[in-house]
Amino acid sequence: MQQLPPAASNVKIEISAQRPATPEITGTGVSVGGVIHACHSATIDQGLSQLNIPGLTRDTLDPVLQYCAELRCVADQASCPGCKRRTEMLGLETLDQFILHHKEIVVGDGAIRLQGQGTQTATTSCLETLAKQWSGENYWFWARRVIRKLRHGIRRAQMQGEPVAGDGETPSVILMEPQLADNIGMVARACANFGLDDLRLVSPRDGWPNEKARIAASGANYIIDDAKSFAGLDDSIADLNWMVATTARQRDLRKPVMTPEQAIAEMRTRIGRGERCGILFGRERNGLETSEVANADALVMIPVNSRFASLNLAQAVLLMGYEWMRGDPGRSLGRVTTFERPMAEGVNMGHDRAATKEELLGFFQHLERELATLGFFNPEHRRPTVVQNIRTLFSRMGATEQEVRTLRGIVATLAQGKGAARKGKSQVP
């Protein structure tokens, strides 16, 4: 049994005897991962209230978080249910292996059940969620987030932001020796705009962390908080399988040259099969050295005015981020809030719907009847051609059901008047 520091002496972590071993809060059966999940998914106070573990408060939570954040479970040869380390310890490398490891996986209300060869039963809300989350979450990563909230509170609470994808599911943005903290902040904002969650800094000139970068990020604090600083380029790209380097200058290197669109398409393919990818950006003053570009698998050259090809750092990141987001099938145009739903290309129908052919034909007949009454079709032998042109005109507009009703109201008013106007008309001999 492992005792925590004196500040949390009434809360202890023990390693269960079951296999695989689980680090648990003594006497509760609640895993460390369960505590992390509760406090990360909601606020810290809501998570603690939900857990309702005697002695576990804000004052005693930090050591529990540290246990997970520092991966002390590795030395204890233990892991938590739902953590990616658990599936790694069990040697489960595919979804098929994960299903076989269980006795049964119950999907949704239980109408679908996946039979395996194990002894435990698991549940999932739907098959899509299972396909995405079967390998588990990086609880140690979540623990670090909760630690920041616990110690520093939620900075700029009115600004909401969180990663849009799991670890490694988006390209890493690598800045080579960035000189200005303001530029790092603006890069972080561009990353947040377009869902690039992993920002890496190679030997930033003004050190890291840097409050100026946080200010320039304008609310993209989760990017700033999670940004990692490295002493050299090799360390920053060590875990990547494929990387591109951005450059405006032609290089005497025998490497593929890609547009942003081509590079992002290649990254999507590679990330889809489990590889990690990155985009290397150069210094503000003179970009990348050829020796640094040599580490890349391909070069990215952005279409620009050839006589003025220099982009600032945030602009270059933003352009690559735009290409990444543009290919995301789950993207929305503009913001999405409590009162604004996701938008896509095309006409915003709101709560309306497209008119049916029955409704359109009713409008055509109404309009043609009133036009005939008022002598519009003159000469009469031209009537079929004029009717055809009118129907073509209104069919092309793609009217909604509400718009058809409005048009019919206009025709009726023009033909018969409305309210006092109609009464006055009825008095005409």
55 with 126, same domain: the answer is: no
pLDDT of residue 128: 80
232 with 293, same domain: the answer is: yes
Q: Is residue 331 part of a domain?
A: no
166 with 250, same domain: the answer is: yes
Distance of CA 127 to the CA centre of its chain: 20
> Which CATH number does the domain housing residue 188 bear?
3.40.1280.10
pLDDT of residue 68: 92
CA distance 392 to 406: 18
Task: Give the angle 363-385-376 at the CA atoms, nearest 5°.
Answer: 65
Tokens of 268: 């999507």
The residue among 326, 345, 365 that closes a domain is: 326
Q: Is residue 341 part of a domain?
A: no
Q: Give per-residue burial for 211-246: e unless 16+ CB within 10 Å, then b.
A: eebbebbebbbbbbbbbebbeebeebbeebebbbbb
263 with 388, same domain: the answer is: no
H-type helices in 56-126, by residue range? 58-69, 72-76, 84-89, 95-101
299 with 194, same domain: the answer is: yes
29 with 144, same domain: the answer is: yes
CB distance 172 to 143 below 8 Å: no
Tokens of 242: 């494929």
Q: Is residue 337 part of a domain?
A: no
Which residues are registered as beta bridge partners of 13?
2, 25
170 with 319, same domain: the answer is: yes
Q: Say how many domains are in the chain.
A: 4
Q: Is residue 257 part of a domain?
A: yes
Q: Is residue 332 part of a domain?
A: no
69 with 202, same domain: the answer is: no
pTM of the complete model: 0.51
Q: Is residue 339 part of a domain?
A: no
The residue among 326, 347, 376 that closes a domain is: 326
103 with 173, same domain: the answer is: no
Which residues constitute the domain of residue 395?
357-426
280 with 219, same domain: the answer is: yes
CA distance 321 to 281: 13
79 with 121, same domain: the answer is: no
pLDDT of residue 204: 94
Sheet containing strand 242-246, strands side by side? 228-230, 198-202, 172-176, 277-281, 242-246, 298-300, 257-258
Each residue's pLDDT expressed in tens, for the chain with a length of 429 residues: 444 443 344 688 898 888 889 999 988 889 999 999 888 877 788 889 989 998 899 889 999 999 999 999 999 999 998 899 999 888 988 999 989 988 999 988 888 999 999 888 888 888 887 887 888 888 988 899 888 878 766 544 444 466 667 788 899 999 999 999 999 999 999 999 998 999 999 999 888 888 888 888 888 888 998 999 999 999 999 999 999 999 988 888 999 999 999 999 999 999 999 999 999 999 998 899 999 999 999 999 998 888 888 889 999 999 999 999 887 766 666 655 555 566 666 677 777 889 999 999 999 999 999 999 999 998 989 999 999 999 999 999 889 999 999 999 999 999 888 776 665 654 444
Q: Is residue 66 part of a domain?
A: yes
310 with 378, same domain: the answer is: no
Q: Is residue 168 part of a domain?
A: yes
DSSP at 167: T
CB distance 200 to 228 below 8 Å: yes
Tokens of 179: 């000189």
Q: Which residue has the tokens 């490398």?
A: 93
